[in-house]
Amino acid sequence: MSVFPFMTGGSATSSANALPIFREYAWDFEHDCFIYRDGKHVIVEGKEALKVWIYKTLKTERYRHPIYSRSYGVELEQYQGKRTNNDETEMEVERYVTEALLVNPYIRRVVSIDHTCEKDVLSMDITLDTEYGEVIMSG
């Protein structure tokens, strides 16, 4: 047994760099509101918490609300009401989405962003590599 209780076996790796379990308030995606049980917020962890964070980040315009840090949210308002018909605009939208998501240390990389535009609605399918495995968000 080691004199130092936090050191075990022959590994020199430290858990100091390990991220704590990600937690968020539960979100009802269908009704677009928090989930409560007995009058209190329900808390979700891990992959489900990350899905809430992703959803809320992509719904929040960056710099709009002073309560959020300047790195939280996405800069897509400038494209509202405009068609994303050209490659340059599509690349810019993808860049803004990627930058917004990679702020979170639990997201390792954006694997793909597939988007479609039907009438006036832009929909995205985003695949992410995260600390909790693959996460796919659609909407």
Dist. CA 136–CA 139, nearest whole Å: 10
CA-based nearest residue to 115, from 74, 88, 76, 84: 84
What pLDDT, on the 0 to 100 scale, is given for residue 8?
46
Q: What is the pLDDT of residues 59-100, one digit of tens each?
A: 988 888 888 888 888 888 877 766 656 677 778 888 999 999
Q: Which residues contact 115 (CB under 8 A, 6 or more apart)?
A: 84, 90, 93, 94, 122, 123, 124, 125
Q: What is the pLDDT of residues 2-54, one digit of tens each?
A: 444 444 444 444 344 689 999 999 999 999 999 999 999 999 999 999 999 99
